[in-house]
């Protein structure tokens, strides 16, 4: 039976991944700032921005992990924006959770990962195509894709595979506000399939990348977005300001 650690495992894509892995017979450990709501999942309460807490969690969990899923992340809908509007506080918090938190997680747990194990990071379609007004989030997710490729090379000598899943808009608490505003304005969000993903749809791809079926897949950045990054038509573009005389 495989043993997998999922950060951000108490909600959203992390929760869906923990549930799917549990259903498939894996031993699942959830690391989150909250207890996991799932029966049968071991909960470790810690913050991915706290290096000391992650080190203690690694000691508590011990070696012998077969998989590591870095699903903890935030998206500050209220505060993010272009550099002229983006506060330093929001920038630093977003980098701390999404980017530094992913790095600290891998640093804390990779030594306890079995040779021939697998790591899955979570990027975003924002890392693959521009998302106006979400600079901090976009920067962190782009950096995660770059780190994924670097780690795939760094850990290949141990047989560890590292891949990144880049979800499109997904029905999770993190984007509920975005979906609510879109519904109030009676508009879609420009997706080819005219719907957002369900979290289990993303989880199934993560589970595949952790599995022996993906034994020769490493260093890949995989968009799971219903074709969004393949499409130009229908995407919103800001209106250009008229040139001053």
The pLDDT tens digits of the residues spanning 103-124 come to 999 999 999 999 999 999 999 9
d(CA 26, CA 161): 18
Residues with a known catalytic role: 137
The proportion of the chain whose per-residue pLDDT surpasses 70, expressed as a percent, equals 86
Kindly report the number of other CB atoms within 10 A of residue 1's CB atom: 7
Least confident among 65-74, 169-178, 207-216? 169-178
Q: Where do the DSSP E strands lie in 52-201?
A: 65-70, 113-122, 161-167, 170-171, 197-198
Instruction: Give the start-to-end residue ranges of the domains of the chain.
Output: 3-224
- Is the pLDDT score of 189 beyond 70? no
For CA atoms 5, 7, 11, 16, give the dihedral sign.
negative
Express each pLDDT in 80-108 by its tens digit: 778 888 889 999 999 999 999 999 999 99
Stronger pLDDT, 178 or 49, i.e. the higher one = 49
Express each pLDDT in 116-148 by its tens digit: 999 999 999 999 987 778 899 999 999 999 999
Strand-pair partners of 183 = none
d(CA 34, CA 125): 27
- 1.20.1250.20, 3.40.190.10, 3.10.20.30, 3.40.50.720: which CATH number matches 3-224? 3.40.50.720
């Amino acid at each position: 039976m495989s043993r997998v650690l999922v950060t951000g495992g108490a909600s959203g894509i992390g929760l869906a991944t923990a549930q799917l892995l549990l259903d498939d017979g894996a031993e699942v450990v959830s690391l989150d700032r909250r207890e996991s709501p799932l029966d049968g999942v071991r909960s470790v309460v810690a913050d991915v921005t706290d290096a000391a807490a992650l080190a203690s969690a690694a000691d508590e969990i011990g070696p012998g992990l077969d998989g590591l899923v870095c699903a903890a992340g935030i998206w500050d809908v209220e505060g993010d924006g272009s550099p002229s509007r983006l506060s330093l506080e929001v920038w630093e918090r977003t980098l701390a959770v999404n980017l530094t938190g992913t790095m600290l997680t891998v640093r804390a747990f990779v030594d306890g990962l079995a040779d021939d194990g697998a790591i899955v990071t979570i990027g975003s379609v924002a890392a693959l195509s521009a998302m106006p007004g979400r600079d901090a989030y976009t920067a962190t997710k782009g950096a995660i894709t770059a780190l994924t490729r670097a780690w795939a090379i760094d850990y290949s000598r141990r047989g560890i595979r590292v891949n990144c899943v880049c979800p499109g808009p997904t029905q999770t608490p993190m984007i509920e506000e975005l979906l609510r505003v879109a519904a109030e304005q009676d508009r879609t969000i420009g997706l080819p399939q005219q719907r957002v993903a369900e979290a289990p749809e993303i989880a199934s791809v993560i589970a595949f990348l952790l599995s022996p079926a993906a034994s020769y897949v490493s260093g890949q950045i995989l968009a799971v977005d219903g074709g969004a990054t393949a499409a130009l038509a229908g995407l919103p573009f800001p209106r250009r300001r008229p040139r001053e005389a």
